[in-house]
């Protein structure tokens, strides 16, 4: 097994474990403390949307052919 395939296997497992942990933890957190958890999720989603919008807006426009 080469070094790059070993790294990609480890990275794939880490992503899978993180996704599994997130998918199990979010509903439980919402059930335990719905207002706080919902507020944090909404703030995180809003900041992510704002960051994405700013990144897209700051990207240079493609030059027009002509």
Q: Over its length of 66 residues, how does the chain's per-residue pLDDT go in tens digits?
A: 577 788 888 888 888 888 888 777 777 776 777 788 788 889 999 999 999 988 888 766 666 665
Q: What is the pTM of this model?
A: 0.42
**Is 14 part of any domain?**
no
Structural domain count, the chain = 1
Q: How far apart are CA 13 and CA 10, in angstroms?
A: 5
43 lies in which domain range?
A: 20-56
Maximum distance among all Cα pairs of the chain, rounded to whole angstroms: 59
**Is 39 part of any domain?**
yes
**Is 46 part of any domain?**
yes
What backbone torsions phi and psi does residue 33 show, to the nearest 5 degrees? -140, 80
């Amino acid at each position: 097994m080469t070094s790059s395939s070993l790294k990609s296997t480890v990275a794939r497992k880490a992503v899978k474990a993180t996704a599994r942990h997130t998918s199990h933890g979010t509903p439980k957190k919402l059930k335990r403390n719905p207002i706080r958890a919902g507020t944090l999720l909404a703030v995180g989603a809003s900041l992510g949307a704002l960051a994405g919008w700013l990144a897209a807006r700051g990207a240079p426009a493609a030059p027009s052919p002509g």
